[in-house]
Every structure is written in structure tokens, then in C-alpha cells.
Amino acid sequence: MTMKILYIYPHPDDESFGPGHAMHKQRRDGHEVYLLTLTKGGATKRRHDYGLSIAEMGEVRFQEMLNVKKALNLSGMTVLDLPDSGLKEMDPRDIEAVIRKEIERLQPQVIVTYAVHGISGFHDHLVAHAVVKRLFVDMREEYDWLQRFAMITLTEEESKVSPMFRLNWSKPADIDCELPVEDEDIEAVQRALDCYTTFLDTIEGAGVRNVFRHIASYEIYDEQHDPPLNDLFSGLKDIPISS
């Protein structure tokens, strides 16, 4: 049974720092995997190293993401241009509106974003969680094809890998899905990281490459699974999508 999943993140590289190996695994399993990125990430301080404006850096990062799409074999990717590092200043209803538009266009059974702690705790991550969660609760009452809201997360062991960042993690009791991934999926996310050529120093210094294990962990909103599911689509209904 082929399912459709939409990952929603605020910045370029969020998908490769987090669930890239899982996304590649889900594509290998025959599912449709889509990515929605809310900003082009142009406000990063790294732009000063290249003498670029926010708009110019955003375009550079967008071009890098086109290569990431190929590396992860994504079914589709949409990159918006909301204000990087400025989502907290926006009316959340405006953010909801653009995300809703993409969800209604794709009609996924599952949507994914950050867990409530945002892993790094960056405010754009926290805003993304809150907005997507509220939107899911609203939309699942309208559309029976939208069935699950999942949140990528880390275990305590994984959170200690980075020498640069303090990362947040989820307790074992909160993890509802442990998706097994293979070496080829980890190799794919490493290739995706390589696509971010303007961030390679940060990637290496942060130890991001060492975070990936052969299990990708998710929390699932409003569900409890003990033991955890081994497939994010387990138990979902194959509901015909309306035209």
C-alpha cells in the first residue's frame, strides 16, 4: 500500500540534519515523500563569510536544496520564502495558511515536523511545531485522508553526539515509532549533507554526521504505542484521495 507523507520544516538543512535517512528509507519502500521548507534560510550568519545579502544567500541555499532533493530521491519539494529567523514575528494564521495550501494540494496521510522541544530549541523550530500541530488538529476534522501527525526526535544517546550544540531529546515512553533504516539510507543522508557546500564547516564541527543510527525515532501526536511501531504508516487506512 503506497502512502504519502509531507515533512514540514522551517529551514534548508533541517531535513538533512534530522530525518533524511528516514525519508530515503520511506522512498525505497515505495511511498511518496514530500518536503515543504518555509524559508530559504538566507538570514544565516554564514552569509557574511561570502559577502552575500539575505536574498542572495537564500538563493544559494535554494540551489543546494535542489541537489538535496536528488540525493534523497524525494517525490517533490516546495521551498517558500517566509522570513528566516522571523517566524515568531509573523501572525501564525498567515503561516498556517501557506502550510494548509500545500497540505490540501498534496493530500498526505501523514505530516511530520519537529517535536515540541525543537531538538535545538531554535525559535523557528518551536513555531513550526506549534503551527503544524494546530493545523493538523483542525484539518483532520475536515479531511479523512489526513490521519497522523508525527514528530522526528532524538534519543538521549543521540543528543550527546554533537560537541557544538546542546540537543533536546524525547524520553523512551514518548517515542511511538522506531523506523529501521539501512546503510544505504545513512549514506544517502550523508550525500544530502554534502550538498550544503556553504555549511560544510558547521556540519563537520557540529558532529551532525555522527547522529545517524539505524533507527529513526518519532513521537506521534494523540497516539501511544508500546512497543513502538516500526513503520510510520502502520494502522492507517487506505482512503481514496479526492480529485
The rounded Cα 104 to chain-centroid distance in angstroms is: 18
CB 182, CB 25: distance < 8 Å: yes
**Residue spans of the chain under pLDDT 70:** 240-243
CB 193, CB 203: distance < 8 Å: yes
Cut 0.85: pTM above it: yes
pLDDT by residue (tens digit) across 89-135? 999 999 999 999 999 999 999 999 999 999 999 999 999 999 999 99
Strand partners, 50: none
CB 126, CB 163: distance < 8 Å: no
Domains of the chain by range and CATH?
4-220 (3.40.50.10320)
pLDDT of residue 58: 96
pLDDT of residue 165: 81
pLDDT of residue 183: 98
pLDDT by residue (tens digit) across 96-107? 999 999 999 999
Residue 203: all three cell numbers together: 556540519
Please give the Cα distance from 193 to 106 (Å, whole number).
26
pLDDT of residue 241: 56
Please give the Cα distance from 213 to 215 (Å, whole number).
5
Q: What pairing do the DSSP bridges indicate for beta strands 215-220 and 148-153? A: antiparallel
